[in-house]
Amino acid sequence: MVTFPEAIAGYVRMRAEFPEVAPEVATAMGKKYSDTVKSNLRRLEHGVGTRTPSAPGGFPATMTGTLAASITDTVFPGDEYAMAVVAPHTIYANIQEEGGLIWANPGLGAKGKRPHTLHFITDGVDYFPRIVELPPRPYMALTTDQLVADGSLNRVAAETFISWVDEWMGTW
């Protein structure tokens, strides 16, 4: 199996020899990555107001699909290289990935009656905590590990490159 550093080194050699194929390879790899992240985010589901079935350290469970829908892949082509950036674009994306504390804004609530609190409903019970700790659920990191371990990013890059070379050879 090719390691991640070996794959990067191969990609660097490839872009030096055939720089015009780099954007196509980056596009294919970015699409594979974003499609896999979205698929992984849809593994588990739970309804609004119910407890998540996802374990800390595993993929987060989907409630609305907003996190998966926010995943985009963008290709930045260059003269000698190309780069695909795959990233989520929701306000809570990072806290899902890394975990952490969420706290209510300090100060008084509506009409000065009580301090601000968070509000959520779980199993029909209203909760009003001032601080909630979310465990990490590293969907981006786990997807990276998965795609490197199973070799699918390398395969997508190789298949795209071979397809490009076949097409290029047909123009001779």
With 60 as the cut, is the pLDDT of residue 160 above it? Answer: yes
Burial class (CB in 10 A: 0-12, 13-18, 19+), 21: buried
With 80 as the cut, is the pLDDT of residue 124 above it? Answer: yes
Average pLDDT taken over every residue of the chain: 86
State how far the Cα of 154 lies from the Cα of 162, in Å rounded to an integer: 12
In this prediction, residue 133 has a pLDDT band, given cuts at 50, 70 and 90, of very high
CA distances from 18 to 5, 26, 70, 77, 84 (A): 20, 13, 33, 13, 17
In degrees, rounded to 5, the angle at the alpha carbon of residue 113 between the alpha carbons of residues 111 and 118 is 95
With 70 as the cut, is the pLDDT of residue 98 above it? Answer: yes
The position carrying tokens 């490839």 is 14
Q: Is the four-CA dihedral 83, 32, 90, 118 of positive or negative sign? A: negative
Average pLDDT over residues 155-165: 90
State how far the Cα of 87 lies from the Cα of 74, in Å rounded to an integer: 9
With 80 as the cut, is the pLDDT of residue 25 above it? Answer: yes
**What pLDDT, on the 0 to 100 scale, is given for residue 89?**
93
